[in-house]
Amino acid sequence: MLMHTTPAAASATATAAAAASAMQGAGRSRAAEENQRAGQAIADMLKLVHDQLMPQRRLVRAGERIYQAGEAFSHLYVMNSGLFKLVNLSADGREQVVALKFRGDWMGFDGIASGLYACDAVAMDTGEVWVLRYDEVLAACANRPALLRVLHEAMSREIARDRDSLMSVCSLPADARVADFLRYWADSLAKRGLRTDQITLRMTRAEIGNYLGMTLETVSRALSRLARQELIRFTEKGRRDVHIPDVDALAAFVQHSLAPTPTVLQ
């Protein structure tokens, strides 16, 4: 069983936590800076929305649905805290988690075109969402370019993200897909100023598998293999909490899983 932690990787792992706070290496600190900028952008966006639109706040608990597929579209939602999943359902009853939403993300865009929401938005944790009437948002945007800008950025980000998901599902083997999922989750937390070394998956293996296009057993095996390679670690009690010693090592694992040796090709 190939020991994947090469000396380089191991030292990277060991220093990662320290580096993040002490911010020693060039690449590392640039990533950290970028995350901080992103975090500031999210905070600024929330402040702008809050000040300009004075949204109604709504508290949600795990399992609550903010909107449902087929319902008439009327509102957009901005997450202030918590965690949501968006669940698409097809004509024949298949259900599929198509996106995860964190603080600062918008929900409901899928309903604009057809006038009906295309998916369910389900809270996976207690949290607070801001409720915005779409027509009021539009009205407010008319004379506030900054507001329109953040709205478009949110939609654009969603488009780009959905495509990354598609790419991951289409081109990565199971283990790498799970690794990429964890990497993305950690990244999302980092951009929001939260610690990334210890993340609590509020999803069952079945839900993760559904999101990633694989069975729950495959998710479980993939996690076990990642743990065996020390790319992740489980906390003593329970296996819902995942410790990620080094996000970069996870990212590297994803990259190398397709190109064993990046042969000099064009």
Stretch that binds DNA, among 45-53, 141-149, 159-167, 211-219 (CB under 7 A): 211-219
> 99 contacts which partner out of a copy of itself, DNA, none, CB within 5 to 8 A by kind?
a copy of itself
User: Which of 198, 223, 191 minimizes the C-alpha distance to 208?
Assistant: 223
- Considering the complex, what minimum distance in angstroms separates the CB of residue 264 from DNA? 19
- Considering the complex, what minimum distance in angstroms separates the CB of residue 224 from DNA? 3
The whole-angstrom separation of Cα 148 and Cα 150 is 6
Contacting positions for a copy of itself (CB under 8 A): 86, 88, 90-94, 96, 98-99, 109-114, 118-119, 138, 141-143, 145, 148-149, 152-160, 162-167, 169-171, 210-213, 254-256, 258-259, 262
The whole-angstrom separation of Cα 237 and Cα 198 is 13
Q: How many residues bind DNA (CB under 7 A)?
A: 23
Q: Where are the alpha helices (DSSP H) in 87-215?
A: 134-142, 145-171, 174-191, 205-212
Tell me if 168 contacts DNA by CB under 7 A: no
Assigned token pair, 265: 């090709």
CA distances 1 to 27, 228, 257, Å, are 31, 9, 16
Query: What is the residue type of 18?
Result: A
- Considering the complex, what minimum distance in angstroms separates the CB of residue 239 from DNA? 4
Whose Cβ is closer to DNA: residue 2's or residue 91's? 2
The residue within the footprint of DNA, chosen from 218, 231, 232, 244 (CB under 7 A), is 218
- Confirm if 94 and 153 have CB atoms less than 8 A apart: no
The whole-angstrom separation of Cα 121 and Cα 140 is 25
Q: With H, G, I as helix, E, B as strand and everything else as coil, classify residue 80.
A: strand
Tell me if 175 contacts DNA by CB under 7 A: yes
> 210 contacts which partner out of DNA, a copy of itself, none, CB within 5 to 8 A by kind?
a copy of itself
> 96 contacts which partner out of a copy of itself, DNA, none, CB within 5 to 8 A by kind?
a copy of itself
The residue within the footprint of DNA, chosen from 65, 144, 221, 233 (CB under 7 A), is 221
- Confirm if 88 and 98 have CB atoms less than 8 A apart: yes
Output b/e per residue, 24-39; b: 16+ Cβ within 10 A: eeeebeebbeebeebb
Name the site residues for DNA (rule: CB under 7 A).
Answer: 1, 173-175, 204-206, 213-221, 223-224, 234, 237-240
